[in-house]
């Protein structure tokens, strides 16, 4: 008798029928606004390389120099022999950049969120998470084994009610910029509420760093908040920084606690030192080349104006993430395929990444897109979605 556990084929067929099957596409060459995939050159409107730094000559040169100095791999975990001078320098520079006492590198953003939340909470505590949080934040809350509650998206009153009944230590967890909607968490009100209830506040600003704020400091700089108001700040390096990895920034004691207790930090190999060297360069570029953020905002405004003129269903976002709500997963996939045939790579986002009935085209912009490319995308959207 066949073992039913291994009936993966049946499950895969069901995913296909539901319009939820996922396929990888092979990219040949560097990231950029134009990419070669499956033998075709496409204009890329689905990357998180918001400032166009992933293929920047200076970042690449820093990576190569890092390989020459440190080799291809780090060899071990940070707490054994994998913590290089490049890692240490980057942590100090990220702490200064975020206006915090210290920063700690993680190998990925997913690992940072899992490690930080599970290190700070236990069974007798409460974690409260925005309903639209990234999967890594939700998984971190579940892994902590704390009492897990989700509040309505960006709803301060619902968060207030749930905080009032929280048991043990309470930690409020939210994205800064929501990755599928592009809107911002109501951070000033959240910070006030956390202080009133003596709760912790953790913000993952993966999609805000580099994009928001005069100096690219993200949502915290955008709202002019401090370390005291947002004590636990997490960011990834694979988006606006254009490299790889993640970090958490906060107080001296917070970072020391995570070094002792964050299992996804303690028990994993450090990211290559060469990646840290590349990130040090991208951090300098991110701060110095303010035109990148200015250009990005100009492109976003141009797109939103054109999309409104066409009657497209935009979402409430002034960030580089500009979703167009479709609703049906099959229709979103069909629209993505049609755009691809016209030379544009735009991802269709479907459940479970977004709630059922809210499938969408997730369009993202980079500083090195041109106005002509934005206008061409708008023309294609008009043909596909009319």
**Which residues does the annotation mark as catalytic?**
179, 207, 239
Distance CA(182)–CA(178), nearest Å, equals 5
Of the candidates 44, 107, 78, 32, the one whose C-alpha atom is nearest the C-alpha of residue 279 is 107
**Using an 8 Å Cβ cutoff, are 314 and 362 in contact?**
no
Q: How many CB atoms lie within 10 A of CB 135?
A: 12
Q: Which of 235, 239, 229 is CA-nearest to residue 199?
A: 229
C-alpha distances in angstroms, 116 versus 119, 195, 219, 243, 282? 5, 20, 20, 21, 25
Q: How far apart are CA 294 and CA 128, in angstroms?
A: 35
Is the CB of residue 74 less than 8 Å from the CB of residue 84?
A: yes
Q: Are strands 359-364 and 347-349 parallel, antiparallel or unpaired?
A: antiparallel
């Amino acid at each position: 008798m066949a073992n039913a556990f291994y009936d993966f084929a049946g499950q895969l067929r069901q995913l296909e029928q539901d319009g939820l099957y996922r396929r990888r596409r092979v990219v040949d060459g560097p990231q950029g606004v134009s990419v070669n995939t499956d033998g075709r050159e496409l204009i890329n409107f689905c990357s998180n390389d918001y400032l166009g730094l992933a293929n920047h000559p200076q970042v690449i040169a820093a990576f190569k120099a890092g390989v020459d100095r440190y080799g291809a791999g780090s060899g071990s975990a940070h707490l054994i022999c994998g913590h290089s001078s490049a890692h240490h320098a980057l942590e100090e520079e990220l702490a200064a950049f975020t206006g915090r006492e210290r920063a700690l590198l993680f190998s990925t953003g997913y690992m940072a969120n899992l490690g930080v939340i599970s290190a700070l909470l236990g069974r007798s505590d409460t974690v409260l998470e925005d309903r639209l949080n990234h999967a890594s934040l939700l998984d971190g809350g579940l892994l902590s084994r704390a009492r897990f509650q989700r509040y309505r998206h960006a709803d301060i009153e619902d968060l207030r009610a749930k905080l009032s009944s929280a048991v043990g230590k309470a930690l409020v967890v939210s994205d800064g910029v929501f990755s599928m909607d592009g809107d911002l968490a109501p951070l000033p009100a959240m910070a006030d509420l956390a202080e009133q209830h003596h709760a912790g506040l953790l913000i993952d600003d993966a999609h805000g760093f580099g994009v928001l704020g005069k100096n690219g400091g993200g949502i915290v700089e955008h709202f002019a908040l401090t370390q005291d108001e947002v004590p636990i700040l997490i960011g990834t390096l694979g988006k606006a920084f254009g490299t790889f990895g993640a970090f958490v920034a906060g107080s001296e004691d917070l970072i020391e606690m995570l070094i002792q207790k964050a299992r996804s930090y303690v028990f994993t190999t450090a990211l290559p030192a060469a990646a840290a060297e590349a990130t040090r360069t991208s951090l300098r570029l991110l701060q110095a080349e303010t035109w990148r953020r200015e250009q990005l905002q100009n492109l976003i405004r141009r797109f939103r104006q054109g999309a409104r003129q066409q009657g497209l269903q935009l979402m409430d976002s002034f960030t580089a993430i500009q979703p167009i709500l479709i609703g049906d997963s099959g229709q979103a996939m069909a629209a993505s395929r049609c755009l691809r045939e016209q030379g544009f790579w735009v991802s269709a986002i479907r459940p479970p990444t977004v709630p059922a009935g809210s499938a969408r085209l997730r369009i993202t912009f980079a500083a090195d897109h041109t106005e002509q490319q934005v206008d061409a995308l708008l023309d294609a959207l008009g043909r596909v979605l009319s």
